[in-house]
Amino acid sequence: MRHHHRRSEQLYTLIWGPITFLVIFFVGLRLISNVSIFSNILPTGSHTGYFYFLLHALVLTLGRLFIAYCLAVMVAIPLALFSTKSHKMESIFLPVFDILESVPALAFFPILIIFFVRSNFLNGAAILIIFLSMLWNLVFTLVGGLKIIPPDIKGVAHVFGLERLDYLRKVILPAIFPQFVTGSILAVAQGWNIIIVAEVLHTYIPGGTSAQDLLGIGSVLVRAAASGNNDLFVLTLFVMILAIVFLNFFVWQKLLRSAERYRFE
Amino acid sequence: MSNPIIEFKNVSKIYADGKDAALSDINFTVDQGEFACLIGPSGGGKTTILKIIAGLEKATTGEVKKPAIIAMTFQGGALFPWLNVYENASFGLNARNRLLNGEEKYSEHKIKTETLNYVKMMGLEDFINKYPAELSGGQRQRVGIARALAVDPQVLLLDEPFSALDAKTTAELHDDLIKIWRTTEKTIVIVSHLIEEAVSLAERVILIKDRKVANIFKIELPYPRREQGLTYHQDVMKIRREFFK
């Protein structure tokens, strides 16, 4: 049964993955070949130039997402470990996390952004807001993972005298790997959700101008919409979807499959 | 002449919530090389005693004498699902090796040889690259025993190792355990809630009831015991009467 399920999952990835990828790629290519649609915001020049413009925007967006994700992982793991260290810690920290999670990441933004504008580090502001939107998804899924590690598994580590670092490296981190993957998928999805806000910064800066926006898929999407350039809007959306589908098939699906081995029965 | 390797003197255990005592004034010894079985109804304190011996719990009061190197197997094997049979079996030995210094340390070759020796002893040589999800309950329990034996413990603790297994697999593992005990001459302490299992395996059966040692029975039947007919059943009945009293 399980074997059959895995097989149909593989078939789905093998057939529908490339088909979706190719459909999106060719529709995108067709749109990107239409020079006129870029006239008001994109550099003039060859088709390749337009292609590289959107590719550049995508790389910058992915870069911001990646840095914010790495920071979220670096903060979420210690936070989850610390808060589940004992029942007392749980009773103190988990309600605090609940409250912090329910405060929208954007609520902090108008205040936080002033610091980044003053230090002329606008990318920092974007990364921070993406990081805040990602963090709690990771923390709560990791906390869930830590709480379902069977006590006997922890007992094995204790009986054989595993040192603290080895215990973390060889028992705890592998044990929460499935939840880490699930949390990462949710966190990165949250990151994509907030990318427009994160890159169109001027709306949060008092007296800000569009010159303060960051080049990225999110900001291109907003500018295309604002200028009424529907073709560009659709094209950018396609590039964004293409990137998300690519990440899903070639990163998350692979990680989800390998995470199956780490699950306790 | 007795040579106790484990000794409980007036041991009590009260958990942090302080409501009920998990153990109350426990006294018993287990001799070097002995096969002992802790038996009793659920919630009586058997597993707590085993956890105190293993160092997973601390006694609230009283004195516990135990050796330095103890290994334990858990219900269901408690294997790491992301490690294969060999990696699981060598887990304890690798962990112990990291605590050793300089010349005391085992070489990679020694770790491999020792692990494979116990993997073979447990009849798992054809499953070395399999993962726990691909093994039967009995095979998982065998991996857990191989992992425990690989560290060459002075005492081997088994917490209800056969509770989730079918009768045939349990009988096979009983035979294997007796063989291992005789070959390695290890001290073995097993927790069980089955009187027949205790009488089949142990030299002494320690009955734990209401968080106290209710009685200790010496079983002097030769192995294999299930074939001893009437005398086997007499010993079972003797414990049963006390168990249900």
Q: Which of B71, B80, B133 sits opposite A159 (nearest CB)?
A: B71
Laid out side by side, the sheet with B70-73 consists of: B70-73, B155-159, B187-192, B35-39, B204-209, B212-218
Tokens of A220: 């291109």
Q: How far apart are CA A153 and CA A176, in angstroms?
A: 12
Q: How far apart are CA A159 and CA B162, in angstroms?
A: 20
- The minimum CA-CA distance between A157 and chain B, rounded to whole Å, is 8
- Sequence-distant (≥ 6) Cβ neighbours of residue A143 within 8 angstroms: A80, A83, A84, A94, A97
Helix (H), strand (E) at residue B63:
strand B61-65
Query: What pLDDT is stored for residue A10 in this prediction?
Result: 55
- State whether residue A166 sits within 8 Å of chain B by CB: yes
Burial of residue B150, with CB atoms counted within 10 A of its CB: 0-12 exposed, 13-18 middle, 19 or more buried: buried
SS percent in chain B: helix, strand, coil, step 5: 40, 25, 35
Query: What pLDDT is stored for residue B241 in this prediction?
Result: 84
Helix (H), strand (E) at residue B12:
strand B4-14
* A264 neighbourhood in chain B, CB within 8 Å: 81
Q: What is the pLDDT along chain B (245 residues), one digit of tens a residue?
A: 578 999 999 999 998 766 677 898 999 999 999 999 999 988 888 999 999 999 999 999 999 999 999 999 998 889 999 999 999 999 999 998 888 887 788 889 999 999 999 999 999 999 999 999 999 999 999 999 999 999 999 999 999 988 878 888 888 889 999 999 999 999 999 999 888 899 999 999 999 998 899 999 998 888 877 776 767 778 788 888 888 87
B204-209/B35-39 β-pairing: parallel
- Give this complex's ipTM: 0.88
pTM reported for the whole predicted model? 0.83
Q: Do A159 and B56 touch (CB under 8 A)?
A: yes
Nearest Cα residue to A231 out of A58, A96, A24, A33: A33
Q: Do B75 and A152 touch (CB under 8 A)?
A: yes
